[in-house]
């Protein structure tokens, strides 16, 4: 496997894992804190996660982008980021967590297909790759 292929696989897997974890935590926070906890606690945790999540996405992709040639692999890096982010959110939306309660299967599938939440992770990850690439090539 070539060096560029390793980086493309790493880009895909990292965004898949990050999107999956963000999706699971988002679902857990919505159901758990809105039904059983105080709204004040939910908003505090929501603000903290809104500040931490972009950093958790940005840092690994900035480090990958330092060693990755984005110009020659632009098309494949965008495809890897989009498919990984979409699959991560799709899988996280379709996992049933028993503590949360039952959500009908078709409702979860339809929500995960038409949801555009994966673009959040994609835009941060692609920005980090581009910033690292331009910083290294100046």
pLDDT at 40 over 80: no
Q: pLDDT over 70 for what percent of the chain? A: 83
Count of domains in the chain? Answer: 1
> Could you tell me the maximum CA-CA distance found in the chain, to the nearest angstrom?
53
Domain of residue 130 covers 3-136
The CA distance from 18 to 36, in Å, is: 26
Give the pLDDT of residue 135: 93
Q: pLDDT tens, 69-90?
A: 899 989 999 999 999 999 998 8
pTM tops 0.95: no
pLDDT at 74: 92
- In this prediction, residue 122 carries a pLDDT of 92
Q: Which of 3, 9, 19 is nearest to 76 (CA)?
A: 9
Q: Which residue has the tokens 């500040």?
A: 51
Length of the chain: 138
- pLDDT on residue 95: 76
Task: Name the region of 101 (left: φ>0; alpha: ψ -120 to 50; beta: rest).
Answer: left
Residue pair 29/42 in contact (Cβ under 8 Å)? The answer is: yes
Across 60-65, average pLDDT: 93
């Amino acid at each position: 496997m070539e060096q560029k292929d390793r980086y493309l696989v790493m880009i895909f897997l990292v965004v898949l894992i990050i999107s999956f974890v963000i999706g699971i935590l988002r679902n857990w926070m919505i159901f758990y804190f809105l039904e059983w906890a105080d709204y004040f606690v939910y908003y505090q945790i929501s603000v903290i996660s809104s500040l931490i999540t972009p950093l958790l996405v940005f840092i690994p992709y900035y480090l990958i982008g330092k060693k990755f040639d984005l110009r020659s692999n632009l098309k494949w890096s965008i495809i890897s980021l989009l498919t990984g982010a979409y699959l991560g959110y799709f899988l996280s939306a379709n996992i049933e967590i028993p503590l949360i309660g039952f959500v009908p299967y078709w409702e979860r599938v339809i929500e995960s297909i038409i949801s555009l939440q994966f673009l959040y992770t994609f835009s941060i990850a692609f920005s980090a790759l581009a910033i690292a690439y331009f910083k290294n090539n100046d």
